[in-house]
Amino acid sequence: NIFHLTAIVGGGIGGTSCAYWLQKAAGDSIDIDLFNYGKIGGRIATANVNGKRFEAGASILHPENKYMAQWTEEFG
């Protein structure tokens, strides 16, 4: 078996979805290290302001984006 080590820089929607789909496609044959400064999620993370949660970005998801549609269905 060939084992692959992969590094992904950035924990926003691009980096985290890349890690997710690579792991899903390659299974146990890949080891992924994700490097990110700060909180995972980038612009799609929520922010706490004065004890209340707010969406920090990613307010529009295009309905033709099949990857995001599957991802939101899978993870709720």
pTM attached to this predicted model: 0.62
How buried is residue 53: exposed, middle or buried, by Cβ count under 10 Å (0-12/13-18/19+)?
A: exposed
Taking 90 as the threshold, does the pLDDT of residue 54 lie above it? no
- Strand locations in 1-76, DSSP E? 4-9, 30-35, 46-49, 52-55
17-21, 33-37, 55-59: lowest mean pLDDT where? Answer: 55-59
Taking 90 as the threshold, does the pLDDT of residue 63 lie above it? no
Sign of the CA dihedral running 28, 65, 73, 33: positive
pLDDT at 74: 79
Query: pLDDT higher for 51 or 73?
Result: 51
pLDDT at 67: 73
Residue among 12, 49, 3, 56 at smallest CA distance from 30: 3
